[in-house]
Amino acid sequence: MGAVKTKRMPRAVREQQMLDAAVRTFGRRGYMAASMDEIAELAGVSKPLVYLYLNSKDDLFTACIRREAHALTEAVRSGVRTDQPADRQLWDGLLAFFTHTAENPDGWSVLHLQARIHGEAFAAEVAAMREEIVAFVTQLIVVAAREAHRDPDLPEREVAGLAEALVGAAESLAAWANATPGVTARQAAATLMNFAWAGLGELMEGRPWAPPAP
């Protein structure tokens, strides 16, 4: 009998294994300290194969950023049901965000820390993801604000800053939650929801806080 042939693993599957290994390594060791040898060993492939599939360390890192950014934005979008009230939509979006970042701490480290400090091209990839999430959150808030004010033409700029601030707070809180033992995704989401919704409610009811006169 001839030798039994083993089925070759599809390229897409093997590439995902390499990206899994790379995200874990970049997320835990940092971009500079991570080595292609270590990534190849963790993925169970040869280093030349990693280079064959992904060309260079920079290209591999970029592929990791793009995959993790897509996964995060999809998690947030799919977590929100547009037939729900505005507060429920915001809560579901926050919970989806914190759940994903808690379940994928290495990916979040790649996006939130590593990509932002190792070059303009990497930072630009994350900035594009962030803009998409801010735009999504802006729409969640503007719909609620238009309903509250009974003004379907209320401009987005009225709430754009709120969305930017909310996303920034979520990013910082996710990093803190991942580094703090015992903090769950639900607790992190509730913390930000309680912080944000009271202020949003006041604004939507026409009672925004005004700074004191100079």
43 vs 206, which has greater pLDDT?
Answer: 43
**Backbone phi, then psi, for 142, in 5-degree steps?**
-70, -35
Q: What's residue 141's pLDDT?
A: 83
With respect to residue 120, please indicate whether it lies within any of the assigned structural domains: yes
With respect to residue 214, please indicate whether it lies within any of the assigned structural domains: no
Out of 23-27, 46-50, 139-143, pick the least confident. Answer: 139-143
C-beta contacts of 160-163 below 8 A and 24+ residues apart: 162/196, 162/200, 162/203, 163/134, 163/135, 163/137, 163/138
Q: What mean pLDDT comes out for the span 161-188? A: 94
With respect to residue 89, please indicate whether it lies within any of the assigned structural domains: yes
Out of 7-11, 178-182, 203-207, pick the least confident. Answer: 203-207
Out of 54-68, 99-113, 127-141, 197-211, pick the least confident. Answer: 197-211
Closest alpha carbon to 165 in 119, 186, 134: 134
Q: Which domain holds residue 113?
A: 64-204
Total tally of structural domains belonging to the chain: 1
With respect to residue 178, please indicate whether it lies within any of the assigned structural domains: yes
With respect to residue 111, please indicate whether it lies within any of the assigned structural domains: yes
Q: What's residue 5's pLDDT?
A: 44
With respect to residue 43, please indicate whether it lies within any of the assigned structural domains: no
Model pTM score: 0.85
Torsion (CA) 4, 10, 14, 20 in degrees, nearest 10: -130
The CATH number for 196's domain is 1.10.357.10
Q: How far is 161 from 183, CA to CA, in rounded Å?
A: 28
With respect to residue 32, please indicate whether it lies within any of the assigned structural domains: no
Answer whether residue 6 shows pLDDT above 70: no
Closest alpha carbon to 104 in 73, 60, 63: 73
Q: How far is 155 from 158, CA to CA, in rounded Å?
A: 6
> Which of helix, strand or coil describes residue 213?
coil
With respect to residue 157, please indicate whether it lies within any of the assigned structural domains: yes
Q: What's residue 119's pLDDT?
A: 84
> Which of helix, strand or coil describes residue 23?
helix
Q: How far is 76 from 99, CA to CA, in rounded Å?
A: 9
- The DSSP line for 59-99 is HHHHHHHHHHHHHHHHHHHHH--TTS-HHHHHHHHHHHHHH
